[in-house]
Amino acid sequence: MAAQPSSNGYLVGSNLERVLRAGHFAVTAELGPPQSADGDVIRKKAALLKGCCDAVNITDNQTAIVRMSSIGAGAIVVQEGLEPVIQMTCRDRNRLAIQSDLLGAYALGMRNVLCLSGDHQSFGNHPSAKNVFDLDSIQLVQMVAAMRDAKVFQCGEPFKGQEPRFFVGAAAAPFAAPVEFRPYRLAKKVKAGANFIQTQLIYDIPAFKAFMEKVRQMGLHEQVYILAGVGPLKSPAMARYMKDSVPGLWVPDEFIERMEAAGAPWADIPKDQLSKEDKKARADAWKQEGICICIELIQQVREIEGVAGVHIMAIEWEEAVRPIVEGAGLLPRPDVSAAPAQEAHHD
Amino acid sequence: MIVAEQKSLDEMKSLIGEAQKVLVVGCGTCVTVCFAGGAREAAIVAASLRMATRLDGNAKAVTDVTVQRQCEWEYLDEIAEQVRAADVVLSLGCGIGVQAIAEHFPQAWVVPGLNTGFLGLPTEQGIWAERCAACGDCLLGRTGGICPIARCSKSLLNGPCGGSEGGHCEVNPDIPCAWQLIYDRLNSLGKLDLLLEIQPPKNWKAARDGGPRKIVREDLRLRAEEE
C-alpha cells in the first residue's frame, strides 16, 4: 500500500521527518535507559542531548538486559522537550503486545519507531527466558506502516478511532553475512514500508561506500532516508573487541592503532604502577581520540551520496554527543517546526 | 527421528526413590537409533542400577525389557504383567513413551530415564542436530529445504539478522546460520528471487501455540460396528 501523507503533507510530521524532508543532514543519538526505575537518569541524559540532535533513540532492553521500557523512558524524553525514536524489538512481545504498546506510545506523544528483531536473550542477563519472535523486523515494519496508512490492526480490523501514526524506521547491518544479500534485505525493509534506516556502526568507510553504491544502483536511497551509524571508540580494548567479537562490525586496524597511539605516553609504565591520575589521563586521551575519529567518520559518510544523516551511538557516554556534533559542524540543529512539507525532496 | 539422551544415574536413582522392584523399559525405535534407550541401553542402565544400589547397601531388584514402540498400545500390552509386578517403571522411551505407559497402565508409577531433545538426524557418528520444530505448517518449499523455524535462533522468516558471521550464528559458533545456508543453497540453485518476497507473519495456530494438537483422519477411523 502507498504511504498516504496526512493533511499537512507529512506522513507524521515528527521533527525527524521534517528535518529529513527539508533536506537537512539529520542527526540522531542514542539514549540508553537505566537498569532501574529512576526517571532522573533519563532527565540527565536528555539534558546532555537536548539541542544537539533531531531525535533520540530510546533502546528497548538492548543486548537483552532488562532496563526501563523504551516507551516509559520515551514519555519522560517527550516531557523534557526532545523527540524520541522508540526502539521496538520482536524478542519480548507478540503482535498483540507490540500493537497495544504502540497505541499507548502514540497517545503519549511519540511519533517515531525503530523496528528491530532484537538481540537474542542468550546475550543478556536473563538467558533462560523464553523468546517471542512472533514477528520478524520486516513483518513489524509492515505492521506499523499499515497501522498508519491502511489504519488497520495486523489482523486487518480497522481502528475504532485515532490510528497511531509513526515515522517508521528499520535497521541495516551492511557488513553482516551474507554481505552480498544485505542491500536486498534493505530493499525488503523499504518495500515493507520503512521511511528511514539507521545502520549498524560504520568504521570501514570504503566498505560502506561499496554498500551505498549498490543501494544507489537499486534506487533505495530515493525511497528511504539512510542514517549512517557512527560511534566514538572509548579505548583500544573496545576497538579490538568490536573488531574481533561483534558480528557485522568491521573496524580497520588504522583506528585501533590510533587509539593505541593516543595512550602511548602511558604505554611504558607497568600496569601496577599506573596511578589513579595516570589512568584517568590515559582514559581522557583515548576518549579524545575516539571523539576525533568519530567526527572524521561523520565528515566522510556525509560525502557519500544517499546518506541522509548520522545516528550517533555513544553507548553509556551521552556526554560525547555534543562535542561530536559540534566538531562535525552540525550545530545548531535546524528549527523545522514551521517548514512546509511541499519542499520535500522525497516521494 | 526423535533424539534423546540419558539422564544421569544419580537422577535416575533419585527418581526411583524407595521403590524396590524396578522395571527398566527400552524402546526399539527412535531412541534405539540414537543410542539413548534401546535394548542395549536398557540392559546397561538396569545393570548399573543393580550395582549402584548394591554399593549403597540397598540392593534393588532391577529388570529390563524392551518393546518395539512404547508409543503404541499393542506393544505395551506385551509387558502388562511385568509392569504390574514392578514398584516403579523407568522408561527409556521419549516423552511420548513415558506418557503412553502412564496412560495405558493407570496403576503404574512411571518415571523418565531420558531427556527428550528434538526432532533431528545424525550429522555424523555421535552427533545429532535439530531439523524440525513440528510447527504444523511446513515452509521448506520456500527456503530450499532448510528450516528457519527450527534452525534460526530467532526463527526469522525474512532473511538473516545482523548476527550472522562467517556462516555461524552469533548465539553460538557451533550453530550454522540457517539463513546463510538458505542463501547459499538458493544461490547455487538460481532461486535467490524467493528471498526477495516478504514473508507474512506466520500462522502459529498450527504449531504448539494453538494448544495441544491432534490429527483426525476420518478415512482411517474404524466404524462402530468394526470396533
Mean local confidence (pLDDT), A125-133: 93
Mean local confidence (pLDDT), A323-346: 84
Task: Report the gap between the CA of A311 and the closest CA in chain B (Å).
Answer: 17
Determine contact, residues A95/A33, Cβ cutoff 8 Å: no
Cβ neighbours, 10 Å, residue B17: 10
Predicted-assembly ipTM surpassing the 0.90 threshold: no
Determine contact, residues B171/B151, Cβ cutoff 8 Å: no
Residue A339 — very low, low, confident or very high, per pLDDT cuts 50/70/90? confident
What is the per-residue burial (b if ≥16 Cβ within 10 Å, else e) of B183-208? beebeeeeebeebeebbebbebeebe
What 3-state DSSP class applies to A113? Answer: strand
Task: Report the gap between the CA of B130 and the closest CA in chain A (Å).
Answer: 18
Residue A5 — very low, low, confident or very high, per pLDDT cuts 50/70/90? low
A139 part of contact set with chain B, CB < 8 Å: yes
Query: Which of A94, A99, A139 is best to mutate for the B interface (most B CBs within 10 A)?
Result: A139
B163 to A185: CB separation less than 8 angstroms, yes or no = no
pLDDT the model gives residue A345 = 47
Task: Report the gap between the CA of A242 and the closest CA in chain B (Å).
Answer: 13
Query: Which of A134, A179, A181 is best to mutate for the B interface (most B CBs within 10 A)?
Result: A181
A50 part of contact set with chain B, CB < 8 Å: no
Residue with cell 561499496: A210
B154 to A120: CB separation less than 8 angstroms, yes or no = yes
The stretches in chain B having pLDDT less than 70 are 224-227
How far from A141 is each of A10, A258, B86, B179, B214, CA to CA, in Å?
Answer: 18, 39, 59, 20, 34
CA angle A100, A103, A104 (to 5 degrees): 90
Could you read off the pLDDT of A279-296 as tens digits, one per residue?
999 999 999 999 999 999
Identity of the residue in B158, B166, B200 whose CB atom sits nearest the CB atom of A177? B166
Mean local confidence (pLDDT), A257-268: 95
Residue A1 — very low, low, confident or very high, per pLDDT cuts 50/70/90? very low
Task: Report the gap between the CA of B135 and the closest CA in chain A (Å).
Answer: 13
The rounded distance, in Å, linking the Cα atoms of B221 and A189 is 48
pLDDT the model gives residue A338 = 85
B163 to A134: CB separation less than 8 angstroms, yes or no = no
Grid cell of A245 as nine digits: 567479537
CATH number 3.20.20.220 is the correct assignment for the domain at A15-343? yes
Q: How many CB pairs under 8 A join A and B?
A: 95
Could you read off the pLDDT of A208-258 as tens digits, one per residue?
999 999 999 999 999 999 999 999 999 999 999 999 989 889 999 999 999
pLDDT the model gives residue A6 = 60
B2-118: CATH number = 3.40.50.2300
Identity of the residue in A131, A143, A248 whose CB atom sits nearest the CB atom of B162? A248
Partners of B192 on chain A (C-beta within 8 Å) are 181
With CA atoms as reference, the chain B residue closest to A130 would be B154
**Terminal CA-to-CA distance of chain B, rounded, Å?**
31
A117 to B184: CB separation less than 8 angstroms, yes or no = no
Task: Report the gap between the CA of B203 and the closest CA in chain A (Å).
Answer: 9
Identity of the residue in B156, B165, B192 whose CB atom sits nearest the CB atom of A248? B165
Q: Which helix (H) or strand (E) holds B45?
A: helix B39-55
Residue A4 — very low, low, confident or very high, per pLDDT cuts 50/70/90? low
pLDDT the model gives residue A285 = 97
Query: Which of B177, B198, B202, B205 is best to mutate for the A interface (most A CBs within 10 A)?
Result: B198
The rounded distance, in Å, linking the Cα atoms of A74 and A82 is 9
Residue A344 reports pLDDT greater than 50: no
Amino acid at A289: E
Residue A347 — very low, low, confident or very high, per pLDDT cuts 50/70/90? very low
The rounded distance, in Å, linking the Cα atoms of A266 and A283 is 10
SS3 content of chain A, % helix, strand, coil (to 5): 45, 15, 40
Task: Report the gap between the CA of A161 and the closest CA in chain B (Å).
Answer: 25
Identity of the residue in B157, B163, B204 whose CB atom sits nearest the CB atom of A247? B163
Q: Which of residues 86-115 of B touch A (CB under 8 A)?
A: none
A120 to B196: CB separation less than 8 angstroms, yes or no = no
Q: Which of residues 100-119 of A touch B (CB under 8 A)?
A: 117-119
Grid cell of A42 as nine digits: 533519563
What is the per-residue burial (b if ≥16 Cβ within 10 Å, else e) of A129-164? eebbbbbbbbbbbbbbbbbbbeebbbeeeeeeeebb
Task: Report the gap between the CA of B162 and the closest CA in chain A (Å).
Answer: 5
pLDDT the model gives residue A9 = 87
Query: Which of B154, B172, B185, B197 is best to mutate for the A interface (most A CBs within 10 A)?
Result: B154
Residue A260 reports pLDDT greater than 50: yes
Partners of A173 on chain B (C-beta within 8 Å) are 161-162
A136 to B158: CB separation less than 8 angstroms, yes or no = yes
Kindly list the domain boundaries of chain B, sorted by start residue.
Answer: 2-118, 138-210
DSSP line for B133-145: ---SS--GGGTTT
